[in-house]
Structure 1
Amino acid sequence: MIEIKNLKKVYNGAIVVNVPALQINNGESIGLVGNNGAGKTTLFRMILDLIRPESGEVLSKGENVAGGESWKSYTASYLDEGFLIDYLTPEEYLYFIGGLHGQNKAQVDEKLAGLAEFFNGEIIKKGKYIRDLSKGNQCKVGVGACLLQQPELLMLDEPFANIDPSTQFRLKNILKDQNKNHGVTTIVSSHDLNHVTDVCDRILLMEKGVVIKDIATSSSTLSELEEYFGVGQNTSTFTVDKEEKH
């Protein structure tokens, strides 16, 4: 579904993303991990054509996302609260997003009913603007808007960071359901290694803009990642090679 070729991004003379080749296949669940400054969010933003690379390209179903249009119809993403329209109420925003995808109010209401447990009575009909919600509840609105779109590709950047443990559990179940039962390709970045190894079947480890490890999730992946981040880059647990499941 996603193919990256010779992708490079430079800020202030420093290379922040350098990915010569990467393939994400249809129906995969991908976890992107790395320390702050590893290039995860920059990579997300180039996949979504929010920023342009110095060189290389990102292809979605064979279409270059830079200047392309058709990929937008099947891609949903939430990176941060900047994706929201904060002067709207959650209902107004969700109806707006639904309308962009040809859904009327009744159809949106039906889909929102299925998200009632995830929203946990904190989002709908509370008389608040999005700007007045907590970051955790803003995240719920953003994820809910993504799910309204019934995407083929779902991208979430640090979705577990600001939500409470109960919502984290519900979100993990949603992501698993979208991937396993609906065939949605999911790409999730997270600093929480427990969550990302639980949700994702394939882990991409980034350091200094480079994908240094690409592995299929196994029973030992969590402990290996914990060792890597605990010991540092000199650990022998990870080397710059690939152990892909394909």
Structure 2
Amino acid sequence: MENIIEAINLKKVYGEQTALNIDSLNIKNGEIFGLAGNNGAGKTTLFSCLLDLIRPTTGEISIKDKPVNKNSEWKNITGSYLDENFLIDFLTPMEYLKFVAGSHDVNPNDMQQLLEPFQGFMGEELMNSKKYIRDLSTGNKVRVGITGAMFWSPELLVLDEPFAHLDPSSQIKLKNLLKEYNQKTNAAILVSSHDLRHVTDLCSRIVLLHEGLINKDIKTSTNTLQELEEYFSVG
């Protein structure tokens, strides 16, 4: 499989603090990639550099061999949800999803079919809600944001702590949804999570960050959860 993401000599420094320091990181097409680490490990910083929300101090991160800070083609194939700032809070859920569809040249006549796989995850009540997004619970905002990132079938999906704020039923639905999406589209999926069980259940590969550095790069196996629990019990 070819690489969809390549990071080389990637460093982000704030004053005297180095938030990220990665010599090399490659992520392949079709890979479900997990990012784990304690608070401040650099997970969100890495995703923010990938999405060109912040610029690295040195180094480069590319999607499909093109640096993200020098072109915008990657936006046409990348769906992402990091936090509620990605939403437009004065729209209803469906108005927001229609806005996303228009941004990616989705035919309005295809909306119902594209959203069908997400009915169980979002729920009919939220799908048809007349509330503005700003008035929704945090969990419902997460549902809307993740659905907006996925339903138009991007080749690359980036989700920061997607299981946070979701109830157990929604967490299981999301995990199954992501697995099915990967099998159907062969999209690369990047997920960060504090929940070690979710990340080991979902991901084929897990990278552990500590103080901006890659400490471990693990191919998931039956022993991975125990390995991660032992790692974090010492940290």
Of residues 88-97 and 104-113 in structure 1, the stretch that sits farther from structure 2 once superposed is 104-113
* Structure 1 counterpart SS, 2:124: coil
Aligned residue number for residue 175 of structure 1: 178
Aligned length: 232
State yes or no: 1:149 paired with 2:145: no
The gaps in structure 1 that reach 5 residues or longer are: 233-246
Which residue does the alignment assign to 1:50?
Answer: 53
Note if 1:114 corresponds to 2:110: no
Q: Gaps spanning 5+ residues in structure 2: where?
A: none
Q: What is the match of residue 240 of structure 1?
A: none
In structure 2, the residue corresponding to 1:31 is in which secondary structure? strand
RMSD: 1.0
The answer to whether 1:127 aligns with 2:130 is yes
Aligned counterpart in structure 2 of residue 199 of structure 1, from 199, 202, 218: 202
Work out whether residues 161 and 194 of structure 2, in 8 Å CA contact, stay in contact via their aligned partners in 1: yes
Aligned AA for 2:205? R
* Alignment match of 1:138 (pick from 137, 141, 145): 141
| Superposition deviation, residue 94 in structure 1 | 0.4
User: For residues 126-145 of structure 1, what are the alpha-carbon distances to aligned partners after superposition, in whole Å with 9 as ceiling and x for unaligned?
Assistant: 21000011111101111111
Equivalent residue letter for 1:16: A
Give 2:8's aligned residue.
5
Q: Which residue of 1 aligns with 2:87?
A: 84
Shift of 1:87: 0.5
Aligned to 2:221: 218
CA distance in 1, matches of 2:24, 2:221: 23
Q: How far apart in 2 are the matches of 1:142 and 1:64?
A: 25
For 1:37, which of 18, 36, 40 is the aligned residue? 40
1:122, 1:137 within 8 Å by CA — same for their partners in 2? no
Mapped partners of 1:167, 1:102: distance in 2: 29
Equivalents in 2 of 1:190, 1:149: separation in Å?
Answer: 24
CA shift at 1:124, angstroms?
Answer: 1.7
- Counterpart for residue 190 of structure 1: 193
Q: Deviations over 1:16-67 (max 9, x none)?
A: 1000101111111100000000000000000111000110000111000013
The normalised TM-score by structure 1 is 0.92
AA paired with 2:32? S
If the length of structure 2 is used for normalisation, what is the TM-score? 0.96
Partner residue of 1:105 out of 104, 108, 122:
108
CA distance in 1 between partners of 2:169 and 2:199 (Å): 16
| TM-fit CA distance, 1:112 | 1.8
Secondary structure at the aligned position of 1:141 is classed as helix
Match of 2:163 in 1: 160
> Partner letter of residue 31 of structure 2?
E
Give distance in 2, aligned partners of 1:35 and 1:51. Answer: 21
- Aligned AA (1:107): D
1:27–1:179 CA contact under 8 A, matched in 2 = yes
The residue type paired with residue 153 of structure 1 is L
Runs (4+) of structure 1 exceeding 6 A deviation are: none
With 8-17 and 122-131 compared, the bigger mean Cα shift is at 122-131
